[in-house]
Structure 1
Amino acid sequence: MFPAMKTILAVSSLFTSSLALPADISANPSDPMNPRALGINCRGSGLCPLATIENHTGTRILQLWHDILAATDKDPNTVYNSGDHIVCVGTSVSITVGASVSGEVEGIEGEVSLETEVSLGTGGVCLFPQGASLTLAQIRELVDALGNHGCATCGSVPIHFVDEKSNDPSSGILTSNYVGNPFCGGNCISSVGN
């Protein structure tokens, strides 16, 4: 081996050992383009910053998730599978389409008016597990972890972030993100309180 090569290898191994993560923190997977490779994060769709609560109280959507999950009377052992919506908030834009016709036929006059309302879904933000099943009790703790991380609307947290202190998303993640269809069915929490 060349002397310069030995020096490079020695320096390389010196830096590698000094940059090792502590044993209680898992390294993120190597693909930074994969959203599941990030560990806990506040990333999501580019539409996330536009999702706000219109009452202007300063309440963040993740705070809303926390409040809804705390207020629901659903069994804490309720299981949500990968992709199941746990809770969603969305909006729709209403468009009124109308037309009228008037005329006279053989001395009879009249007017016909047609009007209908079309609702075009504009999406919304939902909370859902990816790559794993979670109980409502686990979800409550993970939502709090996202809020404590500083996330306002969107973000993901590995499912073992709270119970095992692991930032490794390979077992699955809980995600709050923009979705095109914020449908709330099955065990999705659509109302709380009276």
Structure 2
Amino acid sequence: MYFFTALLVASSVAFVNAGVNCNGSGNCPGIVGSLSDIVNISQGLDENRIYRPGEHIICIQSQLGNGLCAFLQGNSAENGHFVKILLKDLQNHGCKKCGSVPVDATQGGNDDGNGILTVNAVGSTGGCNGIC
């Protein structure tokens, strides 16, 4: 029992501080779209618009209303210019569909605690298909 608890705590810590990674939900492999599609769409972002944590920035919607979305998590609100840089960093890391990148990665950081940009499968895009 103690071993299981220690293992659970250790895996939780590893997940919380994952740094740049290509992880996503179990739905990621089968969802419509790719990171490359998200990066291409991001070229049309308003570079001065501020995106807040949890707000869908870009989505590729399936016919069912679910899809692949880019969004911020944590404490960091970022402008469209920086979102484009982070998406490209995620792509340069080798991610093909889903993943996350800490907002401080461009300064050599790898701390998820400062906020992260995530591309992941979502149950609903909220009607967004393209720039949200």
Q: TM-score, normalised by structure 1?
A: 0.57
Deviation at 1:51, TM superposition (A): 2.1
Q: Pick the structure with more strand per residue.
A: 1
Q: CA RMSD in A?
A: 2.0
Counterpart pick for 1:126 among 62, 69, 94: 69
Structure 2 residue 57 is matched with structure 1 residue 76: no
Q: Pick the structure with more helix per residue.
A: 2
Residue identity over aligned pairs, in percent, reads: 36
CA contact (8 A) 1:32 1:38 kept: no
Query: 2:56 aligns to what SS in structure 1?
Result: coil
Query: 1:144 aligns to what SS in structure 2?
Result: helix
- Unaligned 5+ runs, structure 1: 1-29, 54-60, 94-120
Partner of 2:112: 169
Question: 1:39 is aligned with what amino acid?
Answer: G
CA contact (8 A) 2:32 2:62 kept: no
Question: 1:88 is aligned with what amino acid?
Answer: C
Structure 2 residue 35 is matched with structure 1 residue 62: yes
Query: How far apart are the structure 1 equivalents of 2:10 and 2:51?
Result: 27
Question: 2:62 is aligned with what amino acid?
Answer: T
Deviation at 1:165, TM superposition (A): 0.9
Query: 1:150 aligns to what SS in structure 2?
Result: coil
Partner of 1:189: 131
Q: Over residues 60-96 of structure 1, what are the superposed CA-to-partner deviations in whole Å (9 max), with x where a residue is unaligned?
A: x1111111111x1x43111000000001012124xxx
Question: 2:111 is aligned with what amino acid?
Answer: D
CA contact (8 A) 1:85 1:184 kept: no
Q: TM-score, normalised by structure 2?
A: 0.82
